Amino acid sequence: MSRSLKKGPFVDAKLFAKVQKAKSTGNRQAIKTWKRASTITPEMVGLTFAVHNGKNFINVFVDENMVGHKLGEFSPTRKFIVHGGKMAKEQAAADAAKAATPAAAPAAAPAKKA
Q: Is the pTM of this model over 0.85?
A: no
pLDDT at 105 over 60: no
For the chain, the domains span: 13-74
CATH code, 13-74: 3.30.860.10
Distance of alpha carbon 59 from the chain centroid? 9
For residues 19 and 84, the model is more confident at 19
